[in-house]
């Protein structure tokens, strides 16, 4: 009985030990499996982190590559585009340009002065968008007005007298070829100062028309006077078959005096069928200091001229206004004279006057057969 108990105890103890061993082995197995799972989980976690890190690294590399390419392109644009200047470089470049332009202007001025061009020609060269004239030692600059009709001359179609370098005087004639191939008509204007005229010789010398001085008002006395050769000249011009007109030198102080001058012209035309205009001559007097109109305002003189023109038009004649740069730009208000034809005296070459004119008096010295001495000559454009 006691042996069996011991055997039972031994068996029981052995079973207990076996159970313990199995328990330990099971625990070890469980621990090993758990560790494997843990390490496997950790492995995948790290792998995932590594993949994410690799993706981020690749994105960074791509971004860096893109930025590099962008910088390269910007450098290419900068290299191929306008040069970037520093402030000092800009100042230096401006100074170079200014000095070059200054020298160019000085060279041009020197060449023009050596060529004999006067101050007005020089100023006109540097101010092409202005009409410039002078009076009493001052120069006046008038911007060219868009509101006034312009001449449509092709400047290349003009030919001009040529200056003789030895004598300093001009020789030859001026001409203008129009777009249709015809030439501007050439004519003269004369007064008692040309003396006796052989009108047949004048016509045979290529002159197509003549404008005869009919009379004038005394610049000091104010008396209206008939030109001493008026009758002789108008009859001679008409008999030679020239187109003929007349002009009157005004010294009117008021509109009433201007109308008086117009009536004097109409009376002395005596109904003659002239084919050229009646012209009012607006110029400074021969003796400006004693001229009765020396203090006349531009506004009043313009009113006087308009009154004369309207009176002539009402009598059935064509009318025209004669003057030079000073006449049209200082003595009269040219903006108020748009309705009237203009005869422009300008003795410099090339021609320069922006506004529409009907005739150009280009010289006062030209030789015309049949006339002693020099003579005023003109081109009529339409």
CATH of the domain at 183: 3.20.20.80
Residues 6+ apart with CB under 8 A from 331: 282, 284, 298, 301, 323
Residue 258 lies in a domain: yes
CA distance 265 to 271: 11
- Of 53, 84, 115, the residue that ends a domain is 84
pLDDT classification of 335: cutoffs 50, 70, 90: very high
Residue 345 lies in a domain: yes
Return the HEC string of 140-172.
EEEECCCCCCECCCCHHHEECCEECCCCCCEEC
Q: Has residue 20 got a pLDDT over 60?
A: no
- How would you class 199 by CB atoms within 10 Å of its CB: exposed for 0-12, middle for 13-18, buried for 19 or more? buried
> Tokens at residue 246, please?
């007349």
Pair 193, 78 in one domain: no
Query: Helix crossing, 298-314 with 255-269: angle to 10°?
Result: 30
Pair 228, 376 in one domain: yes
pLDDT classification of 265: cutoffs 50, 70, 90: very high
Kindly state the percentage of the chain with pLDDT values over 70. Answer: 78
Q: Higher confidence at residue 378 or residue 41?
A: 378
Contact status, residue 304 vs residue 321, Cβ threshold 8 Å: no
Contact status, residue 129 vs residue 118, Cβ threshold 8 Å: no
Helix (H, G, I), strand (E, B) or coil at 354: coil
Q: What is the mean pLDDT of residues 42-54?
A: 49
> Tokens at residue 263, please?
């009536």
Omega within 30 of 0 (cis) for the link into 350 = yes
- Of 84, 103, 121, the residue that ends a domain is 84
Domain that holds residue 233: 160-380
pLDDT in tens, 212-222: 999 999 999 99
CA distance 228 to 234: 12
Q: Has residue 162 got a pLDDT over 70?
A: yes
- Name the residue among 379, 366, 343 with its Cα closest to residue 202: 366
Residue 74 lies in a domain: yes
CA distance 271 to 96: 70
Contact status, residue 307 vs residue 259, Cβ threshold 8 Å: yes
At CA 62, angle to CA 56 and CA 64, rounded to 5? 100
Pair 65, 168 in one domain: no
Pair 27, 165 in one domain: no
**87-113 burial: b if 16+ Cβ within 10 Å, else e:** eeeeeeeeeeeeeeeeeeeeeeeeebe
Kindly state the percentage of the chain with pLDDT values over 90. Answer: 60
Residue 25, pLDDT score: 43
Q: Has residue 149 got a pLDDT over 80?
A: yes
CA distance 230 to 224: 14
Residue 59, pLDDT score: 60
Mean pLDDT of the chain: 84
Q: What is the mean pLDDT of residues 342-360?
A: 95
End-to-end CA distance of the chain: 166
Helix (H) or strand (E) holding 42: helix 2-80
Q: Has residue 291 got a pLDDT over 60?
A: yes
Q: Helical H runs in 205-244?
A: 230-239
Half-sphere exposure of 149 (CA within 13 A, CB side): 13
Domain count, the chain: 2
**Max CA separation in the chain (angstroms):** 192
Q: Has residue 357 got a pLDDT over 60?
A: yes
Q: What is the mean pLDDT of residues 60-75?
A: 55
- Name the residue among 194, 218, 192 with its Cα closest to residue 207: 194
Pair 243, 375 in one domain: yes
Pair 76, 202 in one domain: no
- Of 84, 100, 121, the residue that ends a domain is 84
Contact status, residue 269 vs residue 281, Cβ threshold 8 Å: no
Pair 203, 292 in one domain: yes
Pair 188, 331 in one domain: yes
């Amino acid at each position: 009985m006691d042996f069996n108990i011991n055997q039972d105890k031994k068996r029981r103890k052995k079973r207990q030990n076996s159970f313990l061993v199995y328990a330990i082995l099971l625990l070890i197995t469980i621990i090993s499996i758990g560790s494997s799972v843990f390490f496997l989980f950790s492995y995948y976690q790290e792998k995932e982190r590594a993949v994410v890190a690799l993706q981020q690294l690749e994105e960074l590399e791509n971004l860096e590559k893109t930025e590099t390419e962008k910088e390269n392109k910007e450098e290419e644009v900068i290299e191929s585009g306008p040069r970037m200047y520093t402030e000092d470089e800009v100042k230096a470049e401006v100074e170079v340009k200014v000095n070059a332009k200054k020298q160019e202007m000085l060279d041009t001025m020197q060449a023009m002065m050596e060529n004999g061009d006067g101050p007005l020609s020089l100023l006109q060269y540097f101010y092409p968008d202005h009409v410039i004239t002078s009076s009493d030692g001052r120069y006046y600059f008038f911007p060219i007005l868009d509101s006034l009709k312009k001449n449509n001359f092709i400047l290349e179609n003009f030919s001009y007298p040529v200056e003789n370098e030895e004598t300093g005087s001009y020789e030859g004639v001026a001409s203008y070829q129009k777009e249709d191939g015809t030439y501007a008509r050439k004519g003269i204007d004369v007064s008692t100062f040309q003396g006796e005229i052989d009108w047949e010789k004048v016509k045979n010398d290529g002159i197509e028309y003549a404008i005869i001085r009919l009379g004038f008002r005394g610049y000091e006395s104010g008396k209206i006077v008939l030109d001493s050769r008026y009758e002789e000249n108008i009859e001679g011009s008409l008999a030679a078959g020239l187109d003929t007109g007349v002009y009157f030198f005004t010294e009117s102080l008021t509109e009433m005096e201007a109308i008086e001058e117009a009536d004097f012209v109409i009376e002395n035309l005596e109904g003659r069928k002239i084919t050229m205009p009646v012209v009012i001559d607006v110029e400074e007097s021969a003796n400006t200091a004693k001229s009765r109109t020396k203090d006349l305002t531009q506004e009043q003189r313009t009113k006087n001229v308009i009154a004369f023109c309207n009176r002539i038009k009402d009598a059935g004649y064509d009318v025209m206004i004669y003057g030079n740069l000073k006449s049209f730009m200082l003595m009269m208000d040219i903006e108020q004279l748009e309705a009237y034809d203009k005869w422009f005296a300008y003795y410099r070459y090339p021609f320069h006057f922006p506004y529409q004119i009907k005739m150009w008096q280009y010289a006062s010295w030209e030789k015309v057969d049949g006339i002693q001495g020099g003579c005023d000559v003109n081109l009529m454009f339409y």
